[in-house]
Each structure stands twice: as structure tokens, then as C-alpha cells.
Amino acid sequence: MVVPSISAVEVLANSPPLIMGKHLGYNHTTLATAPCGDHWRNLRRICALEILSTNRLYKFVGIRRDEIKIFLEKIYRISSQDFAKVELRPMLSELTFNIITRMAPGKRYGSGEEATKTDEASQFRKMMKEIFMSLAEIYERCNMVNMEPSNYQEASKFPEWRQAMENEIVCKAVATPLDPNVKLSKENGDSILDATSYRSFIGSLLYLTTTRPDLMFTTSLLSKFMNSPSNSHFMVAKRVLKYLEGTSDYGVLYLKNENDILFGGTESSAFASEWAMSNLLNNSQVLEKAKKELDFEIGQESLMDESDVSKLPHLQSIISETLRLHPAGKFKPERFEGAQGEPYNSKFLPFGLGRGACPGMGLANRVLGFTLGRMIQRFEWMKVDDRATDMTEGIGVTKPNAKPLEAMCKARDIMKVSSSL
């Protein structure tokens, strides 16, 4: 997105109330969809301190090494002898997905020999795939129009809105524990006869939120009226029971409130890596310069590690240029030479600014640099044919390439040596 002024950047720092956030974001109560306020600040603080802080990312470096090693070994099995065609998107998505799931839930849900071989893993992958597809569809059809007409019958004459309404109905299957149209206050209705039962029920819900964070907002709201609850408050509490009945098969829903982290940490990083490789394949001289930088700084006998990214300014420039490039333009990493180590300024905001800045910036930079560096160090890369790699943008929240990237690659000697160890 290109914005005309700093004031416009400040306005866009907040999350707009989109239809997608209403239903898939628990009525705008998740980190990515909540408006700036106490609730959003609390979610962001927990995310930033417990998962994405510098100290936590350092402790998780072993996970990133393991997953990148598995990713490269899959490519090696295809291209160990000669150039072979590989489709990178599914492997990159699995790489970033497993990094996030091992960091947050503590399990490896991606496919492969090392994955959790349970029905839970299969169901989880299926669920996440469906949600990703729904997000892309809803984003394109609902949010680009982004209004809620009072006359749905009139609106249904238009194909875009007809599809939008169908998607909204599908979204409602993921029910929220609180009706967004209900407004609670101390004056709601008459006081109930048995306030003790209400307090006991709310106390049980508060305990349940340790494993069901999706109930946190509603439970916190209901707890405000424990001193003098009314029938209206009790009816809202009964709705929570209906919600629990409909979601009992989910089990522990720790993962549900991790959706923001899963979405932000998998799609965006995987697609950014795919865009970077697409640009490198179309600009062979930039790819060759990156390979020479790796050979000179790291050597052909030592394996690149995550900490080595700081020694590779050209690789960092490639990442910055990739994050800058879409909307499309000329691929010129040299524009960032000499800017390594400097914080992003107001003219270049790939992770947002201020209160709306992405808390996963540190993780994204680590994953992108480490993944691309090892891919370039360990393999030779070239286009499938003489035609330029298709750079058409597709449908999705994070704007993937319309056509999944295919490339020809062959293992370099350093990959053959490391795989034999």
C-alpha cells in the first residue's frame, strides 16, 4: 500500500471493522481485528512478551534450524543429482506453519515423517486450510465492498454482495459467545433472585478461560455485574453455554486464539519468501551476487546460521526490496545498501507503524533471512524455461503470487556434504 502522508499512516494504524473480523475474529476481539484499546493492548503485550520477544525468539532458534533443515532435505531428495523442478509454495508454507505451531502450541502439525501422526494433526491442517481459503475469499468479496446494507434483498441483486452474504452465512457457523447487538449495563432488566448462582457460573467461566481464551472477553464483561446481576445478564451467560455446547468438539482452544499468529506468521512469511525467489529468478545477476556474498562471508565449507544474516548486507537488501516491491516496481536491492541495521522509517513500513505495528517483525526477518540464505547457499537456482517468472498478484489477504512458483534447482556440494553427515 502506498499512502500520501504521515497523517494517513497514523489513520491506517488502527484496524478497520471489517466483516471478516466480525465473524472469524470473534466480533473484532482478536489481536489482528480488535480496535486499539485496553483489550487490544493486553493481547499485544502477551503476544510480544511470551512468543515474539527477542529473548523468546532466541530460545526458539533451534526450532527454526530444525524446520529449515527438514525443508532443505525435501528439496535435496528431488535435486541431489541434477537440476529438477520443484514447487516451492507448499514447502515454504509448511516450513513457516511448523515454525509457528512449534513455537505457540508446541506441536508439529505439518505433513512429513516428523509430523504429529494423529487425527488431531490431520484435522488441524484441514481446519487451517479451510480458514485460509475462507479468509482469502471473504477478504476479496466482502472487505473490498465493506458495508452492511440494511436492505439485503436489494443488495442480493449484485453478484459481489450475493457472494459476500453467502460467505457471511458460512462464517456464522463459527459462532461467537456474545451477540454483537447486545448492549449490557447495570440497568439491564430486573435483578435475578439467585445472584449466587450467577457468581458461581461466572467463576467457573473465569477458570475455563485458562484453556478457552476465546471466552475471555465475554466472561470479563459479565464479571462486571457480579454484585447485582439481572435477567439480561443471565441470558447472555446462557448464550455462552450454547456456544460451549456447539464448540465442545474443539477440545482445548488455545490454538483458536493463536489464529492471528498462525495467519500472520505462516502466509505472510511463506509468500514473502516465494516473492523473493521469484524476483531472484527474474534477476539472475542479483541471485549470483547473493551467492558470491555467502561464499565469501560464510564459505563453502561452513553452513550458514541465523546469526550470520547480519554479515550479509546484500541478502538483507533483497529482503527489504521484496517487502517494498509489492505493489510492483523495478527490483533494485541496491537502493537499501548502507541501510542495514537501521530501523524502518516512515517512508518504508512493511510491518506497520506505532501501535498497529506487527509484533512479529523480528520473527519474520529471522525466518526470511535464514531461509533465503540457506536456499541460496546450498542450491543452484534457475527458471523452468526462458520466460520470465509470472509476477501476477493473486487473491488473498497477503497477496500471494497468482501462480505458485516453480523453479529448477540442483544441490551444491555443501548440501551434499551436510546431508551425508
Does 267 reside within a domain? yes
Within this chain, do residues 37 and 86 fall inside the same structural domain, yes or no?
yes
* pLDDT in the model for residue 156: 42
Residue-level pLDDT at 362: 87
Give the pLDDT of residue 172.
Answer: 45
- Is residue 204 domain-shared with residue 229, that is, in the same domain? yes
Chain-wide mean pLDDT for the chain? 75
Tell me: do 240 and 329 sit in the same domain: no
Domain final residue pick, 184, 217, 246: 246
Listed range (140-149, 229-238, 270-279, 392-401) with the worst mean pLDDT: 140-149
18 lies in some domain: yes
Task: Identify which of 51, 153, 94, 139 has the alpha carbon closest to the alpha carbon of residue 360.
Answer: 51
- pLDDT value for 345: 54
Residues in binding site for heme: 358
Residue 186 belongs to some domain of the structure = no
Q: Do residues 271 and 291 both lie within one domain?
A: yes
AA letter at 134:
S
Distance, CA of 140 to CA of 146 (rounded, Å): 10
Interval 39-64 mean pLDDT: 86
- Which SS3 state, helix, strand or coil, does residue 410 take? strand
Residues of the chain with pLDDT > 90, as a percent, come to 25
User: Do 369 and 305 touch, CB atoms closer than 8 A?
Assistant: no
Q: The domain spanning residue 343 has which CATH number?
A: 1.10.630.10
Are both 272 and 231 inside the same structural domain? no
* Count of domains forming the chain: 2
Q: What is the pLDDT of residue 173?
A: 40
114, 126 in Cβ contact below 8 A?
A: no
What is the C-alpha separation between 53 and 51, in angstroms, rounded?
6
Tell me how far the alpha carbon of residue 368 is from its chain's centroid. 14
Backbone angles phi, psi at 68, to 5 degrees: -65, -35
pLDDT at 205: 78
State the pLDDT at residue 158.
41
Is 154 a member of any domain? no
* Whole-structure pTM value: 0.65
Q: Residues within the annotated binding site?
A: 358
Q: Looking at the structure, do residues 241 and 270 belong to the same domain, yes or no?
A: no
- Whether the Cβ atoms of residue 312 and residue 293 lie closer than 8 Å to each other: yes
The parent domain of residue 315 ranges over 6-115+258-420
State whether 268 and 407 are in the same domain.
yes
Backbone phi and psi for residue 331, each to the nearest 5 degrees, phi listed first: -80, 110
Alpha carbon distance 356, 155 (integer Å):
33
pLDDT at 254: 39
Per the model's pLDDT, the better-predicted residue between 67 and 105 turns out to be 67
